[in-house]
Chains A and B, each alone.
Chain A
Amino acid sequence: MKKIEAIIQPFKLDEVKEALKGIGIDGMTITEVRGHGRQKGHKEIYRGQEYNVDLLPKVKLEMVIPSNRYEEVLKTVTAAARSGKIGDGKIFVYDVAEAVRIRNDDRGETAL
């Protein structure tokens, strides 16, 4: 099993969710986050005063999927989240040791 953590632009969330739904991935956790990578922040002047916009709003999606599907999921997320500009986000992939469905103690991929 793999855990996919994708940090994307908030305005791409609906598109990414739809695309994942299209390949049968429904389960995910979504968190509103702030951060910056190479996009960095920038300065906004509001009424002559500087506002540092150094942490930009992003959305983090997390999902755990069977190992044999992760390339497909990566491609789907990348294609849907891409606008081609700096700030489109990053995807991280982790190995998952175990998954347990608390309700009935299912283990492994059946618990997903």
Chain B
Amino acid sequence: MGSGLQAITGTARFESFLATGDALTALAERTAEVDGIVSAAASEVLLAEMPSGIAVMAVGGYGRRQLFPYSDVDLLLLVDSERGAAEHKASISAFLQRLWDSGLRISQSVRTPMECAEVHDHNAELNVSLLDQRFLTGDRALYASLAEKLPRFVQSNRDALVRNLARLSRERHAKFGNTFYHLEPNVKETPGGLRDYQLVCWLSQLRDASGGRIEAAEMAPELDQAFRYMAKLRFFLHCQSNRDNNVLSFDAQDAIAEQWNGGDTARWMRDYYRHARAIHRAAIRDLERVEAGFSSLLTQFRDWRSRLANADISVHRERAHFRTPQRLEVEPELALRLFEFTARHGVRPSFEAEQQIAARMSRLPAQFAGMDGLWRALETIFELPHAPLAVRSMHETGVLTALFPELAQIECLVVRDFYHRYTVDEHTLVAIQNLWEVAGPFRDLRSEITRPAPLLFAMLFHDSGKGNPSEGHVDGSGKLAQSAAERIRMPAPDRDLVLFLIRMHLELSSVMQSRDVFDPQTVEELARQLETVERLKLLTLVTYADISAVNPSAMSPWRAEHLWQVYMMIYNALTRELETDRISVAGAEEGAETVSPRERAEFLAGFPKRYLRTHTEAEIAAHMALEAQSRARGAAVEIRRLESAWQMTLVARDRPGLFAGAAGTLASFGMNIVKAEAFANRRGVVLDTFTFEDPMRTLDLNPSELDRLRTLAERVIAGRADVRALLRNRPKPTLPSRKAEITARVSFNSEASGTATLIEIITQDRPGLLYDLASALSSDGVNIEVVLIDTEAHKAIDVFYVTAEGKKLDEARRQRLGEALRKACGPAA
């Protein structure tokens, strides 16, 4: 091995670099040394044979005079013609061999000036490397002909060159998950590394190339500083490992901390991320700027987006700007309105807006601390479709830590473990993103969460305690979240939910890992801890998002399936108890905030406990309000729009045939019932919920029909209208083909519940089916205690828990009902 590749450790240059940390001087010296070796070899071997017709040029990093100790030495041998090069092949080979022998790792190309002035779509690196070319030795006139061509070439092919460069950069970013928060980053290739710094330089050179010159790019001081920092790391890594190694491994981090930072690795890695962030932001800003110019379609879209502007915010070039940034001085909530805009429309803040916020950063924490209605403002942001993007922008601008100084501890925090790929703050942001992008069956769970704000808040704080390693992070995170939630005056129920989710956030993973999930005891214990279906859903989503944010492959299909099974089993444990477990008056007084505890207790007494587990406090309050209305009229009905269906809730005094009547009313309107539930309390008040589809869009297209349906349902329930008469006039539904027909199956189970008989009916779904089944039951004097209705394509799966005279059904009645129900499953009469 020659001098070039000999270990540099221990040399005077390395010692002086270690003493000063000045990589740029070391790089310039190294470049000058290699210039000498190349020029000497060229005059001895090459130019003696080829005094004209060839020029030796330095390109790429070598051309920029930034040659790292073990980087390739990029040479361009410029020849006047291909024939000339072929004739002197032996001399060129001898020259390159001499360089290899002297220990340099040469990466060469042989081109004519014409070839250099062509766009190489498949070798975009060649075009880019020429931006940093310089003459070393050889035919100066030949070089001059290229030097004259290049600026004109760049000017006339600017778009193609920029497009290729942008494509290469985006591909590289994607390889690293588009984030610079890697625990063991590659200082050259990772987003925010040296390659991105160079990208900013190149884009600026390409943009400014004119008047026959390509100028070296002028960089902002912040970027210049970041570049010096990254160059220092890379130089150290090369020297330390004696090869072209650019990965800042944990060991290397410790070595650098030892060398220059008093051994405090965590602190100086924060410096690393700060510099990487500066470079990455500049690179993304410039990439977006050039990409925006590519597509006219994109331009049209951009113009469309500008119409989203409002009194505070304008949109220009896909970014949100403050209309009057001066108002930030007196109105800090304006900053929050910018993020609300981002959360609503998915348009990120402009760099100018970010800088305007940054300029006021020192005053923001105090201003936020004294602000009224902060939780309301945040809640609005957290519930919008692009909330994760808004939270990320808040993090990048520092607003998040101004709002919640508790989170400063996890900023750029490296916690070393084998599985985690990102810093703690990045892991948190990715987890929040995952909550919005859940896949598979979890997507349905997510769509059922009507208020995601507490969920997002819990995710934001779930690992905040990792900044203080002296206590367990779950407890630490809980404490920080509590103080933050109290400060912003989050209502107590939301706060409790947040703290519960943080306290439990590792529970389901740990169950999957260390407990037998097929053991009923495990499941019952979890059901007891979780208490409600709503909490189960939220915790399942937290677990899904948290595991998925560890690294891109952590949520394997195997693990997702495992989690889903755990969810399903706990869900069933929470919803299956029936008669045996009733709410007592004493147990129902907790949790009441808006209504008197006594009223609440009386309303709930006698409902199955399942009711509490499957309904939120807001739903319970709505049901109670409905009950109050029903007292005057005998029945109260509410119909509301869900995301993709409708829901009818009714409260009335119990009477035979009530459930059937309500189902029949919906059928007479052509509605298709997809889910239903029925409960009765101790006072004989019935609460039925029907989720139904409106296949003809009757209610959407004719708003007045909604009132008619509601009034009619109330009349039927109160016994003032005959549902059979209504059904006689309904149109006959089209049945699916014979092939798809499902044979009706009716089965009875007296063991499933302590006090009721379970009837499971699986049959061909059709409008009016539920009415016919319920009628068959009530005609036999059977009382419907609980109903669970579901449909799967054309298959209806209806489960009734029934009693007759307060007891389970006897054999004779089961026989009789079996026949009647099978008959009811047939085509509508």
Contact = CB atoms under 8 A, between A and B. Distances in A.
Given A11-B513, A13-B513, A83-B516, A44 B562 contact: no
Given A32-B556, A48-B797, A57-B561, A11 B516 contact: yes
Interface string B496-520: 0000000000000000111111110
Contacts of B571: 46
B788 A34 contact: no
Interface string A26-48: 00000011100000000011111
Contacts of A34: 558, 561
A43 to B, nearest CB: 11
Nearest to B796: A48
Interface in B534-570: 556, 558-559, 561-562, 565, 568-569
Interface in A39-94: 44-51, 53, 56-57, 83, 85, 87
Contacts of B562: 10, 57
Nearest to A44: B568
B565 A57 contact: yes
B799 interface: yes
B254 interface: no
Given A34-B558, A45-B572, A57-B562, A14 B792 contact: no
Contacts of B568: 44, 46, 51
B318 interface: no
B35 interface: no
Contacts of B565: 44, 53, 57
Given A14-B514, A32-B556, A48 B572 contact: no
Given A49-B790, A57-B561, A87-B518, A44 B512 contact: no
A44 B569 contact: yes
A13 B512 CA distance: 11
Contacts, number: 51
A33 B556 CA distance: 11
A87 B517 CA distance: 12
A53 B441 CA distance: 14
Interface string A1-19: 0000000011101100000
B132 interface: no
B789 interface: yes
Contacts of A48: 788-790, 797-799
A61 to B, nearest CB: 15
Interface centre among A13, A46, A51, A53 (most CB of B within 10 A): A46
Contacts of A57: 558, 561-562, 565
A83 B521 CA distance: 14
Contacts of A32: 556, 558-559
A47 B675 CA distance: 9
A11 B517 contact: yes
Nearest to A59: B558
A10 B515 CA distance: 8
Interface residues of B, number: 26
Contacts of A14: 513-514
Contacts of B516: 9, 11, 83, 85
Interface in B786-805: 788-790, 792, 797-799
Contacts of B569: 44
A48 B790 CA distance: 6
Contacts of A51: 568
Contacts of B798: 48
A49 B797 contact: yes
A53 to B, nearest CB: 6
B792 A49 contact: yes
A10 B571 CA distance: 21
A11 B797 contact: no
Contacts of A85: 516, 519
Contacts of A83: 516
Interface in B152-201: none
A10 to B, nearest CB: 7
B512 A10 contact: yes
A71 B380 CA distance: 63
A2 B459 CA distance: 47
Greatest chain A CB density within 10 A among B513, B516, B572 is at: B516
B145 to A, nearest CB: 52
Interface string B126-153: 0000000000000000000000000000
A46 B573 CA distance: 11
B444 to A, nearest CB: 10
A45 B749 CA distance: 15
Given A10-B562, A57-B565, A44 B572 contact: yes
Nearest to B571: A46
B515 A11 contact: yes
B533 to A, nearest CB: 11
Contacts of A46: 568, 571-572
Given A47-B790, A57-B565, A11 B514 contact: yes
B457 to A, nearest CB: 28
A46 B567 CA distance: 10
A66 to B, nearest CB: 28
Contacts of B675: 47
B228 to A, nearest CB: 39
B548 to A, nearest CB: 15
A75 to B, nearest CB: 22
Nearest to B515: A11
Contacts of B572: 44-46
Contacts of B512: 10-11
A32 B563 CA distance: 14
B559 to A, nearest CB: 7
Contacts of B518: 56, 87
A42 B748 CA distance: 20
B209 to A, nearest CB: 50
Contacts of A50: 797
A28 to B, nearest CB: 15
Nearest to B556: A32
A50 B790 CA distance: 11
Contacts of A44: 565, 568-569, 572
B327 to A, nearest CB: 50
A87 B516 CA distance: 10
A57 B517 CA distance: 10
A103 B765 CA distance: 65
Interface in B765-824: 788-790, 792, 797-799
Interface of B: 512-519, 556, 558-559, 561-562, 565, 568-569, 571-572, 675, 788-790, 792, 797-799
6 contacts: A9-B516, A11-B513, A11-B514, A46-B568, A47-B675, A50-B797
Given A14-B513, A48-B798, 7 more contacts: A11-B512, A11-B515, A13-B513, A46-B572, A49-B790, A56-B518, A85-B516
Closest 4 CB pairs of A and B: A48-B790, A32-B558, A48-B797, A57-B562
